[in-house]
Amino acid sequence: MDWQDQGFILSAARFGEADAILDILTENHGRHLGLMKGGSARTRRADIQTGNLVSVAWRARVSEQLGTYTLEIVRPHAALALDSPAALAGLSAAAAVAAASLPEREPHPNVFAAFGVLLDALTGGRDAAFGAAVYVKWEAGLLQDLGFGLDLARCAVTGTVDDLTHVSPRTGRAVSREAALPYGDRLLRLPPFLLGHQTGAPSAAELADAFRLTGHFLAQSVLEPHRRPVPPARNHYADLVLR
């Protein structure tokens, strides 16, 4: 059994003397593991760095096996991020969150496409706030694709579509400023850029609110039910861009 696809390398773990087990987010076959012969060799290490876009072929005798990978590099995102600590941290965070959140061998083409947009934003020379805003939007899209999307269309209490400022930490539904008043700090703040109501770069406070918002639902809805923690790489990236 075999297939060909393209994908982003999420991680590479050394296996034996020279081989590596790769976790790749593919476009049509989901998050998929495979063994790459000679993957840990010095001549191939640059190819299997986290974030790199590769053209990949997978082969196994039966579908249940780990199988083997052969690949060619398409875009070296890892190398493009080396000169920016924020870009490198964002790339690592996205890869770690995808690996922790996505089931194996379950296609999520929207997540794959958005992952590419995110890496282009992180490595495209824009400021760190721009990359962080795209990152949080990617997490919101990941939640949506996994069936835990935030409902930001209208206020859960009044039904209004105006002045939405908070989100219920229990339901993920938006709440207007007026309806939020009786609840004090029990609601999560909703930054305007997640609603598309802001053209400039978000402030540090707005980014902090956004990281707190998507992080809460990633933990509550996706990771904690499987007894998985929020990846340390995600916390490191948030800390870095919010300094």
Considering the chain, what percentage of its residues have pLDDT values greater than 90? 88
Per-residue pLDDT tens for 106-155? Answer: 999 999 999 999 999 999 988 999 999 999 999 999 999 999 999 999 99
pLDDT tens for 31-55 read: 999 999 999 888 888 999 999 999 9
Q: pLDDT grade, residue 240 (50/70/90)?
A: very high
- CB within 8 A of 104, min separation 6: which ones? 30, 31, 32, 33
Which residues make Cβ contacts (< 8 Å) with residue 197, sequence separation at least 6?
none
Task: Give the 3-state secondary structure of residue 173.
Answer: strand
**Residue located via tokens 């790489």:** 233
Start-end ranges of CATH 2.40.50.140 in the chain?
Answer: 2-76
Whether 100 and 228 have beta carbons less than 8 Å apart is answered as: yes
pLDDT-derived band at 196 (thresholds 50, 70, 90) equals confident
pLDDT in tens, 51-91: 999 999 999 999 889 999 999 999 999 999 999 999 999 99
Q: Which two tokens stand for residue 67?
A: 């199988």
Binned at pLDDT 50, 70 and 90, residue 200 comes out as confident
Kindly report the average pLDDT of the chain as a whole number: 95
CATH dotted code for 2-76: 2.40.50.140
What the block records as the tokens of 6 is: 């393209």
pLDDT value at residue 1: 83
pLDDT bucket at 220, cuts 50 / 70 / 90: very high
Alpha-carbon distance of 147 to 44, in angstroms, equals: 37
Please say if the pLDDT value at position 185 is more than 90. Answer: no
Q: Where is pLDDT greater, at 126 or 193? A: 193
